[in-house]
């Protein structure tokens, strides 16, 4: 843990020597690494470690939970609550829509500690160990080929990067923990014999600068996020920047018009079921050309101080049907 914290501090120091200020196409001031460079770095990591972006197969129904705009600072209560809710409900994974923490080293050290603590609880729930070195899935025969280590176990927390995550050289902090801002992974649905009967996929886009950038568009058009040519039952997309504004009078920086049209067409090609967005700190729900767009309110105790329904849980049923519900958060800011 201490080495990880040192790495976070070192990453900030390196970027601080070379930082420059940039303005995104939508006029929102961002600082540090531009989208083209972020996507290049992320795609290299994703391509090299693509096999690690795979969830364990699930049998029958499963759920996942989504939150966003936690803006973690000195009080990690809401982030900790989201992870605790997901673990208690046995959600398959937890997705975050960006602006995960404000960009100070101490906030990211706190975030990393929180995630590592949540991973320990996750491992304790789903794995057994005889010596705290070798772990086996619950119910597996020890000394089997299912043996693994704590480091090799994937904690199923998957974020996108947000505009506040890249301000003040935040990309160095964010990428040191989460590595890639542009990725996808499949979820195999298996039968009682362990055979795959369907595959769902989850796509995470880098929209932190309010634009996809040409590099990301090129990679999408090349099919980098299309898996191995598998036929997918359901597709879900996660983006920080919202596609639609909750209302005409509300300020919300969205994508450039041409990119909005590109995404709307791409979502049709991908047969997207639900696209999740954040950024605007306001709830919005709509269906456009068969795609459900859910824009979530901020789960931050600073932006949303009162308890409320700031999370969304998606139920994916064995028969292929999808339902979703809002999930209540009760944590309030410490006095």
Domains of the chain, residue spans: 2-103+154-329
CB 211 within 8 A of CB 255: yes
Q: What is the pLDDT of residue 139?
A: 82
User: One digit per residue, pLDDT tens: the chain, 335 residues?
Assistant: 444 444 443 343 333 333 333 333 333 334 457 999 999 999 999 988 887 777 778 999 999 999 999 999 999 999 999 999 999 999 999 999 999 999 889 999 999 999 999 999 999 999 999 888 899 998 877 777 788 999 999 999 999 999 999 988 889 999 999 999 999 999 999 998 889 999 999 999 999 999 999 999 999 999 988 877 789 999 999 999 999 988 767 666 689 999 999 999 999 999 999 999 999 999 999 999 999 999 999 999 999 999 999 999 999 999 999 999 999 999 998 76
d(Cα 240, Cα 68) in Å, to the nearest integer? 8
Nearest 5°: phi and psi at 146?
-90, 5
Q: CA-to-CA distance for 201 and 236, rounded, in angstroms?
A: 6
Kindly state the tokens that stand for 84: 């605790």
For tokens 């600073």, the residue is: 302
pTM of the model: 0.89
* pLDDT recorded at residue 260: 95
What's residue 64's pLDDT? 98
Q: What Cα–Cα distance (Å) separates residue 54 from each residue in 63, 69, 80, 270, 299?
A: 16, 25, 24, 19, 27
Of the candidates 92, 83, 137, the residue with the CA atom closest to the CA atom of residue 115: 83
Class of domain 2-103+154-329: alpha beta
């Amino acid at each position: 843990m201490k080495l990880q914290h040192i790495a976070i501090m070192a990453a900030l120091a390196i970027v601080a020597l070379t930082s420059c200020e940039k303005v995104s196409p939508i006029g929102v001031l961002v600082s540090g690494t531009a989208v083209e460079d972020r996507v290049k770095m992320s795609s290299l990591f994703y391509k090299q470690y693509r096999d690690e972006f795979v969830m364990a197969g699930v049998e029958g129904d499963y759920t996942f939970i989504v939150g966003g705009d936690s803006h973690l600072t000195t009080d990690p209560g809401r982030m900790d609550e989201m992870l605790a809710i997901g673990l208690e409900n046995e959600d398959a994974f937890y997705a975050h829509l960006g602006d995960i923490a404000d960009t100070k080293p101490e906030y990211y050290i706190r975030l990393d500690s929180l995630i590592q603590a949540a991973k320990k609880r996750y491992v304790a729930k789903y794995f057994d160990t005889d010596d705290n070195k070798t772990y086996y899935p619950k119910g597996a025969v020890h000394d089997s080929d299912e043996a693994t280590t704590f480091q090799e176990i994937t904690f199923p927390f998957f974020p996108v990067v947000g505009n506040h995550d890249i301000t003040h050289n935040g990309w160095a902090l964010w990428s040191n923990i989460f590595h890639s801002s542009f990725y996808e992974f499949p979820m195999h649905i298996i039968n009682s014999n362990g055979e795959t009967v369907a595959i769902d996929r989850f796509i995470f886009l880098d929209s932190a600068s309010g634009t996809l950038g040409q590099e990301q568009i090129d990679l999408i058009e090349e099919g980098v996020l299309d898996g191995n040519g598998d036929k997918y039952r359901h597709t879900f997309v996660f983006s920080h920047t919202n596609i639609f504004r909750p209302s005409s009078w509300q300020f919300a920086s969205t994508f450039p018009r041409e990119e909005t049209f590109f995404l709307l067409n791409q979502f049709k090609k991908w047969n997207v079921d639900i696209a999740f967005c954040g950024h605007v700190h306001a709830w919005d729900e709509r269906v456009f050309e068969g795609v459900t767009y859910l824009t979530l309110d901020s789960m931050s105790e600073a932006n949303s101080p009162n308890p409320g329904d700031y999370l969304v849980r998606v139920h994916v049923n064995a028969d292929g049907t999808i339902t979703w519900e809002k999930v209540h958060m009760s944590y309030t800011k410490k006095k």
